[in-house]
Every structure is written in C-alpha cells, then in structure tokens.
Amino acid sequence: MSKWKLTTGTNEVHEEWVKGDIVFRKVTSLKSYIWYIYTSDEKPPKFEFSAVPGGDGELDSINMHDTCINNIEQVEVFEEGNFFSELFIWPEKVDKKDRENIETLWEKNSYSGLEESGWHNLETEHWIWEEISVEPYDPEFL
C-alpha cells in the first residue's frame, strides 16, 4: 500500500436534503482541498472521471465520495478548503418564507439544525476539477 497527496483547485459539495415530499439541493463551492489517497500498490491512484452535475458535460471531474475503485483503497480529507459560495436549489412548491427559514436553520446550526427540524441528508457528493495534483506523500513537506 502507498500513500499519496492530492491537492485540488475547484471543489463543489452537492447535498440532497428531504423532508416529506420536498427535496432540495445545497451546493457549496470551495477552493484548495488536500486529500490523502491510499492505493493497493505503489502506483498513483487511478481515478475515473465523470461530468459534474450542472457542469459543462466534460468528463473532467471526480466525485471524491465515490473513489474506492481500481487501485484506490481509502480517501481521507487532510485539509479542508476555503469557503467560496453556497447555493440552495429549491423545487417550485417551496415558498420564499419556507426557503428563508431553512436557510436560516442552516446558517445557525448547519447539519444539526436541519436534522433536528426533520430534514434528512439523502446524498452527498464532493466533486473536484481543475488544478488536480497527485504526488507521493512525504511528511517532511506538508
């Protein structure tokens, strides 16, 4: 097994939340994540590239929550990125007041605020693209 350091440029975390028959998405944009990747051999990680949802359709992105494939055995976040922006994507049936209430819950208590109000996280994807750098892990140079 070998350990690799993956440094990224653009990141987006896509979350789907559900309560009853209402589903909304929250997209958080971030910059500069560092990940550790563990491979089953001495070779660099073999990622599979996909198109990021809502992107340009190019197969140039990686969902970091779906990477334990090929020679990749484990992925962990070493350093979280810098917050850039946050976007809530609502179905039409959610009125402005309900949207504002949910966004306020998120701002005050993030995950626990939504969960304590009956919302459940259905799925989370962490997409990376642009400026992806993979190098052997060296604890001397972090």
46-88 residue pLDDT tens = 999 999 888 889 999 999 999 999 999 999 999 887 878 999 9
- Per this entry, what is the length of the chain? 142
Give me the residues paired with residue 80 across strands: none
pLDDT recorded at residue 141: 59
Q: How confident is the model at residue 10 (pLDDT cuts 50, 70, 90)?
A: confident
58 phi and psi angles, rounded to 5 deg:
-75, 145
DSSP state, 113? H
Mean pLDDT computed over 23-40: 94
DSSP 3-state percent helix, strand, coil across the chain (nearest 5): 15, 45, 35
* pTM of the predicted protein model: 0.84
Q: Say which DSSP state 51 is in.
A: P
Gyration radius from the chain CA atoms: 17
Give residue limits of the domains in the chain: 2-90+122-141
